[in-house]
Amino acid sequence: MNILLLGPPGAGKGTQGALLSQALGLPRFATGDLLRDAVKHGTPLGLRAKAVMEAGHLVSDDLILGVIRAELAKPVAAQGVIFDGVVRTIPQAQGVDELLRSLGRTMDHVLIFDVTDAQLLQRLAARRSVEGRADDDPAAVATRLQAYRQQTAPVISWYETHGGVTRIDAVGLVDEVAARVMRALGRA
């Protein structure tokens, strides 16, 4: 089963993706984590992505589709994947759709994490004080939210016409949101 988690930065995709991965026994794949790891290790991918990420912009579709292709080719991905924040533009949605189709698979569920702006800003400020991520500083956060609204929000309409989406109220305690996610997947 392939599941896409979609929502603005700070919506809780990472937390819920990890819980879902455990509950369903499927690997969680987050392009954000993979890119941060590449930056940390100074790989060619990391060198190309570093400045763009730190400013809060989106990395190019070509780079992203390359890493998704490589991830899907891994044996561990054969039973399905929790795609956590992996699709952020319409070309990426189209590219992932083609990749999955070439493997005889589909995106089975698209979950949209809904959070108010006030909640997002509060959560990102809290995360910054704990994790110290460069792209959680206020200027980069503003750019990331703008990128979400301009480039990622239209992806929701794309999936609405290509299989459908399920909206999750992502405000509340971690366990409450996790229960909503399981209900949305028909597993509660």
The yes or no reply on residue 53 touching ligand AMP (CB under 6 A) is yes
Query: What's the min distance (Å) between Cβ of 157 and ligand AMP?
Result: 17
The residues annotated with a catalytic role in the active site are 13, 88, 127, 133, 144
Query: What's the min distance (Å) between Cβ of 61 and ligand AMP?
Result: 7
Q: Cα(123)–Cα(178) distance, rounded to whole angstroms?
A: 17
Question: Whose CA is closest to 55, among 124, 140, 133, 137?
Answer: 140
- Give the contacts of 78 (CB within 8 A, at least 6 positions apart): none
What's the CA angle centered on 30, arms 54 and 13, to 5 degrees? 90
The yes or no reply on residue 123 touching ligand AMP (CB under 6 A) is no
Alpha helices in the chain (DSSP H): 13-24, 31-41, 44-55, 61-72, 90-102, 117-131, 138-147, 153-160, 174-184
The yes or no reply on residue 9 touching ligand AMP (CB under 6 A) is yes
Q: Using CB under 6 A, which of 2, 5, 31, 39 touches ligand AMP? A: 31
Dihedrals phi, psi of 57, to nearest 5 degrees: -85, 170
Report which residue's Cβ sits closest to ligand AMP. Answer: 32
SS3 136: helix
Q: For ligand AMP, which stretch binds (CB under 6 A), given 83-91, 104-112, 124-132, 175-183? A: 83-91
The yes or no reply on residue 8 touching ligand AMP (CB under 6 A) is no
The yes or no reply on residue 16 touching ligand AMP (CB under 6 A) is no
Query: What's the min distance (Å) between Cβ of 145 and ligand AMP?
Result: 10
Record the tokens describing residue 126, joined without a space: 């809290």
The yes or no reply on residue 64 touching ligand AMP (CB under 6 A) is yes
The yes or no reply on residue 170 touching ligand AMP (CB under 6 A) is no
Q: Over the Cα atoms of the chain, what is R_g?
A: 16
The yes or no reply on residue 56 touching ligand AMP (CB under 6 A) is yes
Give residues in contact with ligand AMP (CB under 6 A): 9, 31-32, 35, 52-53, 56-59, 64, 85-86, 88, 92, 135, 144
